[in-house]
Amino acid sequence: MRKTLVGLDAMRFVLAVYLMVFHTIHAYPQANRLPFVWLADLGGFSTSTFFILSGFILTHVYVERSPSLRGGTHDFLVKRFSEIYPIHLIGLLLFVLVLSMSTRAFDSFFLPSLGRGEQQAVRLTGGLAAFNWLLNIAMVQVWYPRYSSINPPSWSLGCLLFFYVCFPLLGPRLANMRRRAAALVAVWLLYLIPPVTVVLLGAYGPLAVGAVEHNPVLRIPEFMSGILLYNLYSSGGLKWLLGSRWRKAVAAAFVLVSFVLASYLIENGPLYFLYIVHNGALMPTELVLVALCADACVPKFAQRITSRLGNAALSIFGIHGAIFAIAIKALKLMTIHKPISECVSHFSACAAAAKGLDPSMATYPLYLVFTVIAAVLFQEHCFVPLRTAIRRTFVKHDRRLVERPGLANV
């Protein structure tokens, strides 16, 4: 029987919540006075670890002990597409709702940035704006790096789509390599080439940022490293790392120290560290974290809730931005102390009056808890039925391929 890796579900949930904090906490000016708030600035760590985890889990489910892809390419692609596109589309529709309630125009798009200072927005002409919307709807906006995704976290779903298309070709070949450790090092060094190149060129403009940070071809080494890592893990090639409690403790300390140091450099280091840390420097740390969590034991009584939370990780990714935008607008509207009836009849005036107000952080923990609950309910009562309907319609064969809760759903 295939091993159930519940520890990875716990990791997925924690990373999703961390990414949610990364995207939202600095909307509150009071957050800048919190001690160690800079530890929440390493969002790239979460996304990169998800990319590695995706390759790791897909190899576990579809390739382990098999020279080819279990279930065939067609069924694999249908299942993977049904895993991410409904979340992407619903998240985008929520942002349409947000835009209809805000003063921001539908033809206004943000430029990619390295995360220091406010993001710059530009207004596009009708044709170009419509083209950018079509790219976002089709989940291929990552191939046009000039503008950020309308739903900010959805760029990672666009990358995952490309990784899934490549997996039937890459997965079995990488899984059957003999010198996996050497290949893993080579993939890491290959991944470092683009960020080092743009640093040497001094390219810090929006186009360079969008290409280096979001282009699927430049990010696929993370996915490939997950495939190679799984085969090292399943073949016993990581005993030097996981063979005893003290070795695991040293590995966990390495992850913690690397994370804190990278967070500090993101906040206080030179500008070029933003590229290097975001793209490649932390790959060894992320690989160690995935290996540790794959080998972790979760008590039986906690396994079901852990799997439910882990399953909801992509839903948290997809909908937290829109939920936060709605919540922050509602909080600001309440701050201006005007009757609801007046704001309903003169919404644009109330929205303009509330725009410059600083929201209070008092309700921020409620937002985090509410979003997690909403994501779990969305996952189980909206997304899963939709995914099931897609698979029943388009999957060719009723193969009983085991996709255990929380494993292939990345």
When pLDDT is averaged across residues 69-93 and rounded to a whole number, the result is: 93
When pLDDT is averaged across residues 40-46 and rounded to a whole number, the result is: 93
Burial of 43 (0-12, 13-18, 19+ CB in 10 A): buried
Is the pLDDT reported for residue 404 higher than 50? no
> Is the CB of residue 54 less than 8 Å from the CB of residue 313?
no
Report the alpha-carbon distance of residue 335 to residue 330 in Å, rounded.
Answer: 9
Is the pLDDT reported for residue 402 higher than 50? no
Token couple for 139: 């989940």
When pLDDT is averaged across residues 336-362 and rounded to a whole number, the result is: 68
Closest CA to 318 of 16, 36, 55, 71: 16
Helices (H), 29-154: 43-62, 73-100, 126-137
> Is the CB of residue 336 less than 8 Å from the CB of residue 350?
yes
Q: Which of 280-294, 338-352, 360-374 has the highest mean pLDDT?
A: 280-294
Q: Sorting pLDDT into bands at 50, 70 and 90, what band is 360?
A: confident
Is the pLDDT reported for residue 263 higher than 60? yes
214-223, 343-352, 359-368, 369-378: which range is least confident on average? 343-352
DSSP per residue, 142-183? GGSTTS--SSGGGHHHHHHHHHHHHHHHHHHHHHT-S-HHHH
What would the pLDDT profile of 210-245 be if each residue is shown by its tens digit?
999 999 999 999 999 999 999 999 999 999 999 899
φ, ψ for residue 267, nearest 5 deg: -80, -40
Q: Which residue has better confidence, 117 or 371?
A: 371
When pLDDT is averaged across residues 335-353 and rounded to a whole number, the result is: 65
Token couple for 286: 């992320």
Q: Which residue has better confidence, 325 or 246?
A: 246
What would the pLDDT profile of 103-155 be if each residue is shown by its tens digit?
778 989 999 988 766 778 899 988 999 999 999 999 999 999 999 999 988 99
Report the alpha-carbon distance of residue 366 to residue 372 in Å, rounded.
Answer: 10
Is the pLDDT reported for residue 399 higher than 60? no
Domain boundary assignment for the chain? 6-394
SS3 call for 112:
coil
Is the pLDDT reported for residue 329 higher than 70? yes
When pLDDT is averaged across residues 153-179 and rounded to a whole number, the result is: 93
Half-sphere exposure for 383 (CA within 13 Å, toward CB): 27
Q: Sorting pLDDT into bands at 50, 70 and 90, what band is 384?
A: very high
Is the pLDDT reported for residue 349 higher than 80? no
Cβ burial 288-307 (10 Å sphere, 16+ → b, else e)? bbbbbbbbeebeeeebeebb
> Please, which residues have CB within 8 angstroms of residue 49's CB and are 6 or more apart in sequence?
11, 15, 286, 289, 290
Task: Work out the mean pLDDT of the chain and round it to a whole number.
Answer: 88
